[in-house]
Amino acid sequence: MSERVPSLVADRYRLDERIGGGPMGEVWRGYDTRADWVVAVKVLGARAAGAATREVLRQHAQAVARVIHPNVAMVLDVGEHDGAPFLVMEFLTGLSLGEELAARGPMKIVEVCDLVGQAAAGLDAAHRAGVVHGRVGPDSFRQAGSGVLKVVGFGMDERAPVAAGSRYVAPERAAGEAAQAPGDVFALGCVCYELLCGRPAFGDGAASEVGRPEAGQAGQPEAGQSEAGRAEAAGAGAAGARPVPPSAIRSEVPAELDRLVLAMLAEDPARRPASGEAIRRALAAIARPKPGPAGPPVTGISLRDPGLRPGAAGATGAGAGAVGADTGATEIFQAAGGPPPRAGDTAVYQAGDLEPERPSSPNRKLILQLGIAVVVIAAVTIGMVMWAGARQEPPVAVNTPEPTTQTPSSLPPTPDPSPSFAVTAGPGEEEEPDHLRETSEPKATLGEAIPPGGYATWLRRFDEALMAQQSMGGIDPKVAEKASDKIRKAAGKYEQGQIDATLDQIADVYRDLARAQAKGDMEGSGPASDFMRDWQVPAE
């Protein structure tokens, strides 16, 4: 853009290097002089400086900023500088999927399932927050330094006309409708197709052109592309054409993945997967399928054959084969009623992916151990009885006593449990008071213990609990918004590897919410309150 871009935005963000641009403005690698970290700053130009556009940007940025998810790039700040809107986001150091595809070509099937699953999870989080991307393409997903894939580059206006030449525009969007979640699903299906096959889902695009990072925003027309080519590409999905199944280009693509990709590329939005979460779960099942229910063992069939697992179709119906008398080897039969496995299927469906069979020996060992323990206890008890009887004066001859489960009165009483352990009342016993049960288990402390799933997942769940308590009316909205903003900043600190700063930010959130509870602005019970009781912050 021709407008002069300031070197320091809002007296805080220093612009160090231009890393992208388009008709709406420029994207810079910047530096937050207050927070002391690297950020990405998007400065919009004169075309976006109108009052209506600024209001659209403000509303959109606020909506995106509330999407806290490991697979969505965080919006850290939004504002205006000298009348020009700007947006500050976390800076991602990894490559985009478009750059990866251009450098490597088609990816491994399991890797595609993992990456597209992460992309689907990020889009699903945005859709649940009411945010539609509208410009999904290979460069809309970029990896952080940790390797996590994140959604970037959300469109500013859901009703803006689509750019010619985009291979990722859904038919309804090409017809002029506003961007909706099903359109993002369609575009993600196009991206998945390219990652698998190295070529577009629609048209006869050359593989060398697929995944090439575009100079501007995703969806910008490529230099030198003809008007006819642009029209063909933009209308590829709208003309009723059905793409060739990925397995026709790459034979090792499993049938389940074929069906999922084609469903995502359906012309009718209602026939596409209902959500990004549904796509993520389907891809996880394809990459690591679970075994079916175990069936009865079949003589003469090797259970290590992936096509003949217990419970697999045709396993119990296969005829019993001859066992080699000379070698003792078991002859392996092809499962009846189905085609032979295709080459490469074992790249996804591997015997090593199956859960190991659960033998009964551990149970027998446990029973044996319990039996030994009972015998030892009985022997000790009898010995103590005989020792106590020998000390009595005068000795009296007695008959052999009947077995009893009661401990002789001469034995010392069993010591009370240590006060540091909780004792659960048994049937018929009186329950302990509630205030004793509350302290029976120590609370985990951040910094001393890592939350399950890591800090990024923990912060996302904390914010979700906060939003849930707000929806229940259990916290003042202003208090919740302030706490949510600080949680996002804590997540940004963690992404930069600043663990101490992350813990300090979390402790600040805890202090704010504790004051809110004291003032009556937050209830002491609810999802967020319970979440805070489960995890304590380090004492100052």
Select from 287, 305, 334 the last residue of a domain: 287
Q: Between these two residues, 302 and 152, which has the higher pLDDT value?
A: 152
Both 114 and 72 in a single domain? no
In a domain, 437, yes or no: no
Give the range of the structural domain holding residue 526, as residue numbers without chain letter: 444-536
Both 180 and 149 in a single domain? yes
CB burial of 286-297 (b: ≥16 within 10 Å; e: otherwise) equals bbeeeeeeeeee
In a domain, 323, yes or no: no
Assigned token pair, 26: 């420029």
Tell me the CA distances in angstroms from 43 to 14, 19, 20, 85, 149, one per residue in order: 12, 12, 11, 6, 24
In a domain, 196, yes or no: yes
Residue 161 banded pLDDT, cuts 50, 70, 90: low
Both 262 and 190 in a single domain? yes
In a domain, 415, yes or no: no
In a domain, 351, yes or no: no
Q: Is the pTM value of this prediction over 0.85?
A: no
Residue 118 pLDDT more than 70?
A: yes
Q: Between these two residues, 427 and 364, which has the higher pLDDT value?
A: 364
Both 175 and 29 in a single domain? no
Residue 230 pLDDT more than 50?
A: no
Least confident of 61-70, 137-146, 294-303, 321-330: 321-330
CATH number of the domain enclosing 22: 3.30.200.20
Residue type at position 42:
K
In a domain, 183, yes or no: yes
* Number of domains, the chain: 3
Q: For position 97, what pLDDT does the model report? A: 97
In a domain, 335, yes or no: no
Q: For position 342, what pLDDT does the model report? A: 47
User: What does the pLDDT average to over 142-165?
Assistant: 77
User: What does the pLDDT average to over 484-504?
Assistant: 87
Q: For position 11, what pLDDT does the model report? A: 92
What does the DSSP assignment read for 441-488?
SPPEEBTTBPPTTHHHHHHHHHHHHHHHHHHTT-B-HHHHHHHHHHHH
Least confident of 109-113, 278-282, 404-408: 404-408
Percentage, residues of the chain above pLDDT 90: 32
| pLDDT tens per residue, range 445-462 | 777 777 777 788 888 888
Both 83 and 113 in a single domain? no
Q: For position 419, what pLDDT does the model report? A: 43
Of the candidates 358, 357, 359, 319, the one whose C-alpha atom is nearest the C-alpha of residue 337 is 319
Both 60 and 177 in a single domain? no
Residue 478 pLDDT more than 80?
A: yes
User: What does the pLDDT average to over 173-180?
Assistant: 90
Least confident of 21-30, 126-135, 176-185, 195-204: 21-30
Q: Between these two residues, 256 and 328, which has the higher pLDDT value?
A: 256
Residue 308 pLDDT more than 70?
A: no
In a domain, 483, yes or no: yes
Both 72 and 138 in a single domain? no
Residues in the chain: 540
- Among 68-77, 78-87, 301-310, 414-423, top mean pLDDT goes to 68-77
Bridge partners for 150 per DSSP = 142
Both 532 and 482 in a single domain? yes
Q: Are 344 and 254 in contact (CB under 8 A)?
A: no
Residue 166 banded pLDDT, cuts 50, 70, 90: confident
User: What does the pLDDT average to over 263-288?
Assistant: 94
Both 55 and 117 in a single domain? no
Q: For position 286, what pLDDT does the model report? A: 93
Q: For position 222, what pLDDT does the model report? A: 36
Residue 80 banded pLDDT, cuts 50, 70, 90: confident
User: What does the pLDDT average to over 484-507?
Assistant: 87
Both 146 and 279 in a single domain? yes
Select from 249, 270, 287 the last residue of a domain: 287
| pLDDT tens per residue, range 373-415 | 777 787 777 777 676 655 554 544 445 455 554 444 444 454 4
Mean pLDDT, rounded, of the chain: 73
Tell me the CA distances in angstroms from 471 to 168, 474, 526, 528, one per residue in order: 36, 8, 11, 11
CATH number of the domain enclosing 268: 1.10.510.10
Residue 137 pLDDT more than 50?
A: yes
Q: For position 224, what pLDDT does the model report? A: 35
Q: Between these two residues, 261 and 367, which has the higher pLDDT value?
A: 261
Least confident of 99-113, 157-171, 180-194, 455-469: 157-171
Select from 66, 90, 114 the last residue of a domain: 90
Both 56 and 128 in a single domain? no
Torsion of CA 292, 293, 295, 298, to 10 degrees: 30
Both 78 and 181 in a single domain? no
Element (H, E) at 285: helix 276-287
Q: For position 205, what pLDDT does the model report? A: 54
User: What does the pLDDT average to over 466-495?
Assistant: 86
In the DSSP assignment, the letter for residue 93 is -
